[in-house]
């Protein structure tokens, strides 16, 4: 059955009973749950706000420069280059030096099959050589320096003009010639481990 509200006494300010009143039952209503409000962009923490990509302060790489033409050819050419050299020869200078003739005995190394009419030396025809060294006398007082031939072992079986034995001294001197439309570039490294030849032994 329906439950009635109970009566409670009602007093005045002096404590005298004035009557009875019904007690109102309290309504324990649950507070309405508010839906989460959308977060505005300005309310986001600084660390979570979207940011525009940062501009790079790194300078762009410099453009690749072409290799400059080496210095002019030496004032004279005797066919016995020595030391570190890098120089340019004009077509006329090539002709005047008998096509850059080199008198050192040498072994030919792998080169590059470029074109002698190429616009730059690196695109031209490149030949490379390694000095074949020298055949020397075993005597400490003999100064013979003999150019190595195609058969060095055969040369070593012979005797020096002084009667002493011969031996072969190797050399690491190398050079290259790059021929192109405007001439040639001669380049060498190291220094010979021997002096110029004094004899030729067949």
Least confident of 24-38, 79-93, 144-158: 24-38
pLDDT at 199: 84
Calculate Rg over the CA atoms of the chain: 51
Average pLDDT over residues 14-43: 49
- When pLDDT is cut at 50, 70 and 90, the band that residue 58 belongs to is very low
Cα gap 202→200, rounded to integer Å: 6
Q: What is the mean pLDDT of the chain?
A: 76
> Using CA atoms in the order 179, 183, 184, 185, what is the torsion angle rounded to 10 degrees?
-140
**pLDDT for residue 114:** 92
Average pLDDT of 42-71? 40
Contacts of 70 (CB under 8 A, 6+ apart): 86, 87, 88, 185, 187
Contact 12, 18 (CB under 8 A): yes
Whether residue 186 is predicted with pLDDT greater than 80 in this model: the reply is: yes
Q: Which residue has the higher pLDDT, 4 or 186?
A: 186
Percent over 90 (pLDDT), the chain: 55
Confidence of residue 89 (pLDDT cuts 50, 70, 90): very high
Q: Which of 48-52, 66-70, 116-120: highest mean pLDDT?
A: 116-120
Does residue 35 surpass a pLDDT of 50? no
pLDDT digits (tens, 9 = 90+) for 128-143: 999 999 999 999 899 9
Q: Where do the structural domains in the chain lie, given as residue ranges? A: 83-200
Res. 170 pLDDT band, cuts 50 70 90: very high
Question: Where does the chain have alpha helices with state H?
Answer: 91-96, 152-156
Tell me which of 37 and 190 has the higher pLDDT. Answer: 190
pLDDT band at 21 (very low <50, low <70, confident <90, very high): low
**How much is the pLDDT for 202?**
54
Measured CA to CA in angstroms, residue 63 lies from 48, 55, 117, 121 at distances of 40, 21, 27, 20
pLDDT (average), residues 28-44: 41
């Amino acid at each position: 059955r329906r439950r009635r509200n109970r009566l409670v006494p009602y007093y005045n300010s002096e404590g005298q009973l004035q009557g009875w009143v019904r007690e109102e039952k309290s309504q324990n209503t649950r507070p309405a749950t508010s839906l989460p409000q959308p977060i505005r962009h300005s309310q986001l923490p600084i660390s979570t706000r979207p940011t525009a990509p940062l501009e790079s302060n790194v300078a762009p790489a410099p453009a690749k420069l072409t290799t400059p033409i080496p210095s002019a050819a030496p004032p004279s050419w005797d066919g016995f280059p020595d030391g570190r050299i890098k120089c340019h020869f004009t077509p006329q200078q090539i002709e005047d030096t008998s096509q850059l003739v080199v008198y050192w005995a040498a072994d030919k190394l792998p080169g590059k099959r470029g074109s002698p009419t190429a616009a730059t030396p690196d695109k031209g025809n490149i030949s490379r050589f390694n000095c074949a060294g020298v055949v020397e006398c075993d005597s400490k007082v003999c100064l013979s320096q003999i150019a190595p031939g195609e058969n060095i072992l055969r040369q070593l079986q012979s005797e020096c003009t002084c009667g002493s034995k011969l031996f072969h001294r190797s050399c690491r001197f190398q050079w290259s010639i790059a021929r192109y439309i405007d001439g040639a570039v001669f380049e060498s490294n190291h220094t010979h481990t021997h002096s110029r030849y004094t004899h030729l032994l067949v």
